[in-house]
Amino acid sequence: MRSDTGNWVDLAEYDLETARHLLKTGRYLYVVFMCHLALEKMLKAHVTETTQAVAPKSHDLIYLVKKSEVQLPQPFLEFIGKINNASIPTRYPEDLQRALADYPKPIARSYLEQTTEVIGWLKQILV
């Protein structure tokens, strides 16, 4: 495994742990944001290994899935599409109160659980 691939994996795990802490402290909007970021970094690990080059500077998870050539199970792919669409409202909410209402604790917890599952699967097939 390339050293930059390992760094992407470490960063993804760090961000996932941050999301867990944010859930405990009630910062639900940023749980979703950190889940997206963790998935982005894990996918960049795959892109780096597949292409043997530096991963592109992109936040688009669907693009990174295609670039990585990973064949995700359909439920994982559907979740990636869902969290990819949540990226902009969680990064740059036009209305904070509405964004907070859109991502309450149960939704943030669900995103975290699904992200944990996808990252675990991606990590397993990387090594």
Q: What is the pLDDT of residue 123?
A: 96
Tokens 């050293």 correspond to what residue?
A: 3
Comparison of pLDDT for 99 and 63, the residue scoring more? 63
Q: What is the pTM of this model?
A: 0.94
| 5-44 per-position pLDDT tens digit | 999 999 999 999 999 999 999 999 999 999 999 999 999 9
pLDDT at 116 over 90: yes
Q: Among 10, 15, 80, 19, which Cα is nearest to 48's?
A: 10
* Domain spans, the chain: 3-126
Q: What is the pLDDT of residue 96?
A: 84
Reported as type and span, the H/E element at residue 83 is: helix 74-91
| 64-83 per-position pLDDT tens digit | 999 999 999 999 999 999 99
Q: How confident is the model at residue 127 (pLDDT cuts 50, 70, 90)?
A: low
Fold of 3-126: Four Helix Bundle (Hemerythrin (Met), subunit A) (1.20.120)
